[in-house]
Amino acid sequence: MGPIRGYKKRKKTDKRTEENASGSGSGSGSTEKEGPVDWWDEFSKRINGLQSPSKSLDKFEHIFRISRKTFNYICSLVKEDMAAKSREFTFLNGKVLSLHDQVAVALRRLGSGDSLVTVADFFGLNHSTVSQVTWRFVEAMEERGLKHLKWPSNESEMTEIKSKFEKLRGLPNCCGVIETTHIMMLLPSSDPSSHLWLDHEKNHSMILQAIVDSEMRFLDIVTGWPGKMEDRVVFQSSNFYKLCESGERLNGKNLQLSDGSEIREYIIGDSGFPLLPYLIVPYEGKELSETKAEFNKRHFATQMVAQRALARLKEMWRIIHGVMWRPDKHRLPRIILVCCLLHNIIIDMEDEAQGDIPSCHEHDPEYQQPICEFIDIKGVYLRDKLSLYLSGRLPP
């Protein structure tokens, strides 16, 4: 399978999503009770022994780092596809895995990053069952979860995103922040393609490029390319780039300025990206004017949103954190996609359990992307207009 390109996002959890999240979501097993609350009470006793309801709740959020409401919603998303497969999975004691059991196993595998054997021991399963259940979950999420990763579909949704970015650090008409990170892999020397995945830091890795909104929600992703590819090349290979070049993306309402000029829609990125009419990178150089230095300060502060988003993605879904041992390079892009979908679902559900995860921006500490020297004159013009606007010299 080739690189995954152009997955996009929807704005908010709609009413039906909220209803599904708090609804029954009952599992496929005949002995399973209504909803994940009763399922967890029974399940936690099976793996941990008797414990009080409060400790059971704490244990659930400690293990999965999401609320039961979010867990229930995820179960409702994948229920149809996971139940449609005829094969039955069982615990070592012969008990059939219910829908909630299967989702719990998959989330534990993706969230902990533990080996198949470790996860299997935790749940009382065969390690091959953990592998098959997790992959079944990934396939179901690909089918049912994509509505949580879409580029805004109308002007109202985009206006809200732009308004939040302007409130954040003052950048007007900004539609997103782009950033890349490396998913590191340990490949055997016997793998004939291992040299293709060797990046400039001498690690085997796969690229994830993401565009995020001000709430750290992924709006568009590209993954599957070898880690040695520069940000510029990955971006210019993306469907997002092609849509921008053809005028089909970032083509919304312009901001009118007092001198009769306009500020179009754009995204921002770091110096690894080219300066384009719709992609604004910071000024280079040490001796910058006060206006340019102020622009860079605001640009950097806004860029941190994407860095924090990728750091949280890796911290929450630790299967893509650190070094993955001999991953299937054809399946890995799909796993990365599903981790991004789950990341967005947690934001859309306003999951309070996420408060325990540290907020940092170190998602790629070992990497420093080379500076891209490509400059489009229209990008220079827009960046200068933004600098003047932010300095108060060019009011709307």
Q: Tell me the per-residue pLDDT of 205-225, one tens digit each, with 9 for 90 and over.
A: 999 999 999 999 999 999 999
pLDDT per residue as tens digits for the range 283-312? 999 899 999 999 999 999 999 999 999 999
Element (H, E) at 176: strand 174-186
- Given a cut of 90, whether residue 190 has pLDDT beyond it is no
Given a cut of 90, whether residue 389 has pLDDT beyond it is yes
Q: 226: alpha, beta or left, given left = phi > 0 and alpha = psi -120 to 50?
A: beta
- Banded model confidence at residue 52, pLDDT cuts 50, 70, 90: very low
* Residues 313/180, Cβ–Cβ less than 8 Å: no
Residue 9 near residue 218 (C-beta atoms within 8 A): yes
| Phi, psi (degrees; rounded to nearest 5) at 37 | -65, -55
Q: Count Cβ atoms below 10 Å from residue 388 Cβ, excluding itself.
A: 17
Residue 176 has phi, psi (to 5 degrees) of 170, 170
- Mean pLDDT on 51-60: 57
Nearest Cα to Cα of residue 47 among 116, 132, 104, 131: 104
Q: What is the largest CA-CA distance in the chain?
A: 76
State the average pLDDT for the chain: 86
- Report residue 230 as tokens: 């520069």
Q: What is the rounded average pLDDT of the residues 116-120?
A: 94
Amino acid at 74: I
Average pLDDT over residues 176-194: 91
CA distance 145 to 334: 12
DSSP 207-267: EEEEEE-TTS-EEEEEEEEETTS-HHHHHHTSHHHHHHHTTSSS-SPPEE-TTS-EE--EE
For residues 93-112, one letter each, b for 16 or more C-beta atoms within 10 angstroms of the residue's C-beta and e for the rest, the string is eeeebbbbbbbbbbbbbbbb
16 — pLDDT class (breaks 50, 70, 90): very low
Residues 271-284 pLDDT 10s: 999 999 999 999 99
Helix/strand/coil percent split, the chain, to 5: 50, 15, 40
CB atoms near residue 153 (< 10 Å) = 12
Residue 357 contacts by C-beta under 8 Å, 6 or more apart in sequence?
65, 312, 315, 316
Catalogue the long-range contacts made by 109-114 (C-beta closer than 8 Å, 24 or more residues apart).
109/134, 109/319, 110/134, 110/317, 110/319, 110/335, 110/338, 110/339, 110/342, 111/64, 111/65, 111/316, 111/317, 111/318, 111/319, 112/318, 112/319, 113/317, 113/318, 113/319, 113/320, 113/321, 113/322
Please, are residues 210 and 220 in contact by the beta-carbon 8 Å criterion? yes
Strands 266-268 and 174-186: parallel
Report how far apart, in Å, the C-alpha atoms of 124 and of each of 86, 105, 263 are.
Answer: 22, 10, 59
Residue 202, SS3 per DSSP: coil
- pLDDT grade for 181, boundaries at 50, 70 and 90: very high
Mean pLDDT of 169-185: 97
SS3 52: coil
According to DSSP H, which parts of 124-200 are helical? Answer: 127-144, 155-169
